[in-house]
Amino acid sequence: MYDRYKAKAEFFMIYIKEAHPSDGWIMPANERQGISIRDPKSYDERVKVAEKTCSTLRIKLPCLVDGMDNAVNRAYAAWPDRIYVVDRDGRIAVKAEQGPRGFSPGVEQTREWLSKL
């Protein structure tokens, strides 16, 4: 979707607080896959984790990082993940349900909206 529409729309992935840190709510799937990320205690640590995550997952979108005050997460109820489309006038055009269950329907909603550009 990014490759198809990046000339018509700006895309960003915003790294928010870690959903399943190794020093918090540990997911068995993360343990099986060898994923162990401690909850960052500073913004610099969060940036490093975000950079590593975006690189490891080969995310093509520009990756931004929410501050330690979690302002973006709070403003958009983004945890654990969510898709939003903000139109040129700054209005929310698509607000998907929270992930992971709401992620796939959100992708479809986003694709439909972008196809009208």
* pLDDT, tens digit, 9 for 90 and up, residues 7-45: 888 899 999 988 777 777 777 777 787 777 888 999 999
Cβ count near 8 (within 10 Å): 8
* pLDDT, tens digit, 9 for 90 and up, residues 74-112: 998 887 778 888 888 988 888 888 777 767 888 888 999
Write down the domain spans for the chain.
Answer: 1-70, 81-117
Q: Which CATH superfamily is domain 1-70 in?
A: Glutaredoxin (3.40.30.10)
Q: Rounded CA gap, 63 and 37, in Å?
A: 18
Q: What is the pTM of this model?
A: 0.78
Burial pattern 18-45, b for ≥16 Cβ within 10 A else e, equals: bebbeeeeeeeebeeeeeebeebeeeee
